[in-house]
Amino acid sequence: MSYSNWPLVSVIILIAYMGSPEVAVGQADDSSASAAEAQQCAALSARNFEQVDGGPAVVTSARVIDVPTSGLETPTYPTLSGFASPVSRPFRAIRRYCDVIGYVAPQNKFELKLPLPADWNQKLFFEACGGFCGTLDGRLCNFGLARGYASVTSNGGHDSASGFDAAWAAHAPELQNDFGWRSTHVVTLVAKAIATSYLGRLELLRSAKQWDRASARKPAASRTVRNLPRRCDRSATRRSLDV
């Protein structure tokens, strides 16, 4: 090969290495968008939510989560005759969401999963804990998240063993009150404030305390909806979200 051909060979190799200019620009745009989404989500942990309705509240972490190729993990619910399956309809292709963890005083821990603006249906869905609560299971948010809802769940206002451990209630009237109705109320208000600050204006959709699965707390949310109608635009069960 003649030395005079080396510049031409170098140019060909450089183009092959860089690939198509359109692909390179597209990858750069995707990277910039992902960085902006991560920054917007992380900024929630620095915001002050002490003065919002239902507060004081604190966001302890906020980060963007990439959904694995297998999809969102679905929690296991007891199977009751006559009710729709949690996976009876195809979900939206949620590939990334903002995961927010925090608490409302005194001990109302919550996890709020916010879809990206392009995936959001402009509604908030509260998914109740089961039994006597006491644990925070973020998987409960996935049913609503997969349908485009900003979805939140809580620990019911206290920490305890899962199931029907009631020792936490002994000599603790404030925790009893939170479990009985207040936790659902204040967590919903705070979640609405956080979602609004991240996504914009939303419609509030509250779960009627999981009427389609076994729970010792079924009356609690219905009392919340009846007693606080201004805080709830409408109520629904998980089953109705399939319609």
> For residue 74, what pLDDT band results from cuts at 50, 70 and 90?
confident
pLDDT for the residue 208? 38
Helix count (H) and strand count (E) of the chain?
Answer: 6, 7
Residue 233 has pLDDT above 60, yes or no: no
What percentage of the chain carries pLDDT values higher than 90?
Answer: 51
| CB crowding 133-155: b at 16 or more within 10 Å, else e | bbbbbbebbbbbbbbbbbbbbbb
Distance CA 88, CA 91 (A): 9
pLDDT for the residue 112? 98
The domain total for the chain is 1
pLDDT for the residue 242? 47
pLDDT for the residue 9? 45
Q: Which two tokens stand for residue 184?
A: 């659902």
Give the range of the structural domain holding residue 237, as residue numbers without chain letter: 3-242
54 with 190: CB under 8 angstroms?
yes
In tens, the pLDDT along 141-154 reads: 999 999 999 999 99
Q: What separation in angstroms does the CA of 58 have from each of 101, 103, 138, 149?
A: 9, 6, 17, 22
Residue pointed to by tokens 């707390």: 217
Residue 40 has pLDDT above 80, yes or no: yes
In tens, the pLDDT along 82-138 reads: 445 554 454 568 899 999 999 999 999 999 999 999 999 999 999 999 889 999 999
In tens, the pLDDT along 118-132 reads: 999 999 999 999 889
Q: Cα Rg for the chain, rounded, in angstroms?
A: 23
